Structure 1
């Protein structure tokens, strides 16, 4: 009796491989430019926050730190791709964006979440968003999705409202 081969043949392995890379030189630059533009818009909006100065207890300090980190990472991202082209003459291989529909649905879900947050309240809106996001990302277990969504939103809500004293939208539940 002979044992089956433990290692696959070379032809079998290559048949399973799919090419998920793209050699587009413009793709990374477009992403980097969009990130940079978003960072600049966020920086302008940060300066429009009412308040004086950038005191650590003030309303502008934390948003400014986040925006500056965003801008720094955007510049590093662009510089990395520029350096790669200068050194090798080729662009960085980027992964093809083949999951456009789920990404678009997640963005739409976030917009809907932001729109219903005040009217439904944090608990309900966040639980619904968690369930929707899990479904879009491929989960097919309703019981787990609902349980995790409700528990996570409740833990975050009560942590913020009770432990930290931060008011989150109450919505239709009223607490």
Structure 2
């Protein structure tokens, strides 16, 4: 009799993971990549159609830059998916839908953040959003998350309001 494989054997764990991934997952990644590439090409084409010069202060510059970067990243993704298809391997990024409850909770959290932004204020709602999102994504360092969240929210608030003249909602804080 053969000895049972243990979880310490990396090949057995990898085989178990790939065993449960549907065969069409590589095709789904390729189709997604092609759709993303087409969307990037549309953004780039629309950016070029904006009237004006292509200088950094003009209205065409950022749409063209974003479109070009989008196309480059999507092309790299499509190339990677095509290579996986040729090699007949399943990429690590193709997983079962284990994370759907987290994703749905984050979407609801983001909608709540958008509604809380004006009445509660940018600093408070952003800090709460950051801490709760970190916890949903698996962080167990809540004090660290709170310190980082408040620090980033305050820094961004003052950067926008004092340096750029873009006033974010102060909400309940008298700023």
Deviation of the 1:69 alpha carbon: 0.4
Render the CA deviation track for 1:63-90: whole Å, top value 9, x for unaligned. Answer: 43123201221122113322443x44x2
Deviating above 6 A after TM superposition, structure 1's stretches of 4 or more consecutive aligned residues are none
Partner of 2:169: 170
In structure 2, runs of 5+ residues without a counterpart are none
Partner of 1:137: 137
Deviation of the 1:20 alpha carbon: 3.0
Q: Per the alignment, do residues 79 and 17 of structure 1 end up closer, same or farther by CA in structure 2, a change over 3 Å counting?
A: closer
Distance in 2, matches of 1:48 and 1:139, equals: 45
Partner of 1:20: 17
- TM-score by length of structure 2 reads 0.68
The RMSD of aligned alpha carbons is 3.5
Give yes or no for contact 1:81–1:91 (8 Å, CA) kept in 2.
Answer: no
Q: Per the alignment, do residues 52 and 12 of structure 1 end up closer, same or farther by CA in structure 2, a change over 3 Å counting?
A: closer
SS in 2 for 1:13: coil
The equivalences for 1:21-60 within 5 A come to 21=18, 22=21, 23=23, 24-40=25-41, 42-43=43-44, 52-60=52-60
Render the CA deviation track for 1:77-122: whole Å, top value 9, x for unaligned. Answer: 113322443x44x254343142222123223333433444344432
Count of paired positions: 163
In structure 1, runs of 5+ residues without a counterpart are 1-8
The structure whose RCO (Cα within 8 Å, separation 6+) is larger is 1
Give yes or no for contact 2:134–2:145 (8 Å, CA) kept in 1.
Answer: yes
Distance in 2, matches of 1:81 and 1:14, equals: 27
Distance in 1, matches of 2:147 and 2:33, equals: 38
Deviation of the 1:154 alpha carbon: 0.5
Deviation of the 1:167 alpha carbon: 0.9
- TM-score by length of structure 1 reads 0.68
